[in-house]
Amino acid sequence: MNIENAKSQMRKGMLEYCVLLLLKSKPSYASDIIQQLKNAELLVVEGTLYPLLTRLKNDGLLQYQWQESTQGPPRKYYALSPLGERCLNELDDAWSELAGTVNYLKDLH
């Protein structure tokens, strides 16, 4: 088993959930999200985020607004849509379940 591959698969699976989580508190634009994901050591290459954001937006989980910025052209600020919030709640539950399962298995020994 390729350990690096397994790790990146895990990260990939979580990325969607984490992006929704980040956007729950306040709307952000792509570079903010990138910075936060990098701080959390979740993102290796930045390019992965853009297809993800577009997909979530097309699925109706996210919506965006153009906002003027003090430096340079306007930016796209992404925020959760009502559907996205519902989806996030479900993912929250799924995550607690998963974490519970993993902890349970870990504590067996």
Partner 1 sequence: MKKNITINLSGRLFQIDEDAYEMLKSYTESLRSAFGKQDGGDEIVEDIEARIAELFDELEKNGVAAISIEHVKEIITRIGDPGELAGDNSADEADSNNTWEEKARNAAKGIYDSARERIKGKRLFRNPNDKVISGVLSGIGMYTGTDPIIWRLLMIVLTCFSAGFGFILYIILAILIPEAKTPDERLMMQGIEVTPNNIANEVVDNDNKVHDYGFLRTFFSVIVKLIFGFILGIVIFTIGIVLLSLLLTLLACLTALSLPVSSEIPSSLGALGLTDLYATHPAVIIVFVVSIIALLAIPIYGFIHWLSTHGKPEKKMGIAQKTILIFAWIAAILCMVPTGMRIAREGFAKNNITIESLLHEIDDDNTYKFSYDSLVVTNSDSSKTVVIKTR
Count CA atoms within 13 Å of residue 76 on its CB side.
11
Quick one: which segment of 17-25, 42-50, 87-95, 97-105 binds partner 1 (CB under 8 A)? 42-50
Q: Does 53 bind partner 1 (CB under 8 A)?
A: yes
Q: Does 45 bind partner 1 (CB under 8 A)?
A: yes
Distance (Å) of CA 86 to CA 81, 83, 90 = 9, 5, 6
Residues 7-26, interacting with partner 1 (CB under 8 A) = 12
Structure tokens at 89: 């709640």
Q: Does 58 bind partner 1 (CB under 8 A)?
A: yes
In the complex, what is the shortest distance from the CB of residue 103 to partner 1, in angstroms, rounded to a whole number?
26
Task: Give me Rg for the CA atoms of the chain.
Answer: 16
